[in-house]
Structure 1
Amino acid sequence: MTIRALDWLIARPIAHRGLHQAAAGVIENSVGAARAAIASRYGVECDVQATRDGDLVVFHDDTLERLTAASGRVDALDAQALSRLVLKGSKETIPTFAEFLHAIAGRTPLVVELKSNFDGDLTVAKRAAALLGPYSGPVVIESFDPTPIAFLRANAQALGVAHIPLGIVGEATYGDKDWPMLSPAQRAEMTEFLHFPRTRPDFLSWRVADLPHAIPFLARQALQLPVTAWTVRSPAQAEAAAPWADQIVFENFTPT
């Protein structure tokens, strides 16, 4: 898909994990953060990951400690147990992805990032497809991991998501410190964008600190693919990203 075909995606800034403000009791990836973004006419980006019973919750971290009073891995609990956990500093609980979609109800563009352990498990991709296939509203799916995106690309018709654009989230390098789970082959594939023939992304989301970069530049200029910049945390970063990206994924300030 070209920039023109995805003009709805880049028409307005995209609130990273919703328009959250912890000091005001609006926590990232919560229904409240999504509603706040909608009220301010922003798009919404969210993270989804698998539960023990194969459902999805909207939650970024692999573990629960930072945002709840519980501990341990998210995927060690089932969806019902997770949905009872209160988010720190609020009265809200961890939303299931189905609840989150119901709350948004197509009122703003939604960017769904599939979280991954980079182990080939397609649970998140399959469940996301099942929930998003019948969803009525502007939505895209993205991931750092090429494997679920390639799976959705190859099976989009059968999964009922051929109408949903697919994207890759990327950055310039994938070092051992931040990406210890990657094999050398995975690291090379992601760094050099060697997965392109199987992922064939409709858009890219690129780390703002790594702009300009050849991969998003060529995708945007030669292939006319939209590029968003993540995660923009100040007006100065937004200004720096403007020549190289079509829209920003932001937090900690309110862009115009």
Structure 2
Amino acid sequence: MRAPGWLTARPIAHRGLHNYARGVIENMPGAISAAVEGRFGIEVDIQLSADGEAMVHHDDELGRLTDGSGALATLSAAELKRVRFKDTSERMMTVGDLCDLVAGRVPLLIEVKSHFDGDRQLVKRLTQVLASYRGPVAAMSFDPDQVLALRQAMPELPRGITAQRSYDDPYWVKLTPQQRDSMLYLRHSLRTQPHFVAYWVQQLPAPAPWLARHLFGCPLLTWTVRTPEQRERAARYADQMIFEGFVPDATPS
């Protein structure tokens, strides 16, 4: 299956169309609604609650952009749905809440966050929710095992790998050398069979996404585009951008 055309038809708002200065925080309902109003695709992140629910949130702990503290994995969905985003009245959503809010009006791109520990509960819950969703939706992850889990649980769902050329920055120190090595050069592709690639804009161009795009027909998204230079790079090397910090013009890409 090839990735559907809607995946690259419009720029994709990174964690929704958020603007902290205006009180619109990433991954909160207001950021989702703003992206829908702008007719942009929406990228969001999901994390697993203690009781197996898929929650719309990037960080695996509370506190950076929300009230409270603690790991999401130690709190129930009911507890997390009471968590407010800082200086707002808005609260954390489940994937089901997200689907109800978007209601198929624009494409959704859902990134499955992972602890790289082999736990597939988050993919299981995500695919359960998406089984009854009729809007355009795709899922992706940095973790090849989660992409494989998507392939096995819901093969008809467009799936992608989120990737970069190297994994030596501090964020990846938690992984073993073997785990980092397995992510390099998209070498897992025969096993995971992604339909698209989402690649870090600062490391484009790169051989692996070029091969995936030109030899295997995988559309190339690039993240996170914030500056004019990055936008120019995205236009040159990728099929569509995942953006934040500005509002692209209304002309479809």
Judge conservation of contact 1:12–1:43 (CA < 8 Å) in 2: yes
Pick from 228, 235, 240: which aligns with 1:242?
A: 235
| Distance in 2, Cα, partners of 1:14 & 1:99 | 20
Q: Secondary structure at the match of 1:205?
A: strand
Indicate the residue corresponding to 2:65 in structure 1. 67
- Structure 1 stretches of 4+ with a deviation exceeding 4 A read none
Q: Partner letter of residue 128 of structure 1? A: L
Q: Which moved more, 1:200-209 or 1:23-32?
A: 23-32
Structure 1: state its 5+ residue gaps. Answer: none
- Residues 155-174 of structure 1 aligned to structure 2 (within 5 Å): 155-156=152-153, 161-174=154-167
| Distance in 1, Cα, partners of 2:208 & 2:185 | 8
Deviations 1:62-91 (A, max 9, x none): 111101120111111000001001101211
Indicate the residue corresponding to 2:17 in structure 1. 19
- Residues 142-161 of structure 1 aligned to structure 2 (within 5 Å): 142-153=140-151, 155-156=152-153, 161=154
Are 2:208 and 1:215 equivalent residues in the alignment? yes
| Distance in 2, Cα, partners of 1:22 & 1:176 | 26
Structure 2: state its 5+ residue gaps. Answer: none
| Distance in 2, Cα, partners of 1:205 & 1:197 | 17
Q: Secondary structure at the match of 1:253?
A: coil
Deviations 1:7-35 (A, max 9, x none): 11100000000000112121100111111
Judge conservation of contact 1:235–1:255 (CA < 8 Å) in 2: no
Q: Partner letter of residue 152 of structure 1? A: L
| Distance in 2, Cα, partners of 1:163 & 1:200 | 12
Q: Secondary structure at the match of 1:23?
A: helix
- Residues 1-256 of structure 1 aligned to structure 2 (within 5 Å): 1-2=1-2, 5-153=3-151, 155-156=152-153, 161-175=154-168, 177-256=170-249
Q: Partner letter of residue 47 of structure 1? A: D
- Residue 181 of structure 1 and its aligned partner are, at CA, apart by 2.2
Q: Secondary structure at the match of 1:10?
A: helix
Deviations 1:42-81 (A, max 9, x none): 0000001100001111000011110112011111100000
Identity %: 46
- Residue 163 of structure 1 and its aligned partner are, at CA, apart by 2.3
Q: Partner letter of residue 72 of structure 1? A: G
Q: Partner letter of residue 68 of structure 1? A: T
Q: Partner letter of residue 235 of structure 1? A: P
| Distance in 2, Cα, partners of 1:32 & 1:113 | 19
Change (3 A) 1:176 1:247: closer
TM-score (norm 1): 0.94
Q: Secondary structure at the match of 2:25?
A: coil
Q: Secondary structure at the match of 1:192?
A: helix
TM-score (norm 2): 0.95
| Distance in 2, Cα, partners of 1:219 & 1:72 | 39
- Residue 152 of structure 1 and its aligned partner are, at CA, apart by 2.1
Aligned length in residues = 249
The CA RMSD over aligned residues, in Å, is 1.1
| Distance in 1, Cα, partners of 2:173 & 2:228 | 32
Judge conservation of contact 1:230–1:248 (CA < 8 Å) in 2: yes
Deviations 1:183-214 (A, max 9, x none): 22211110132211111100000000000000
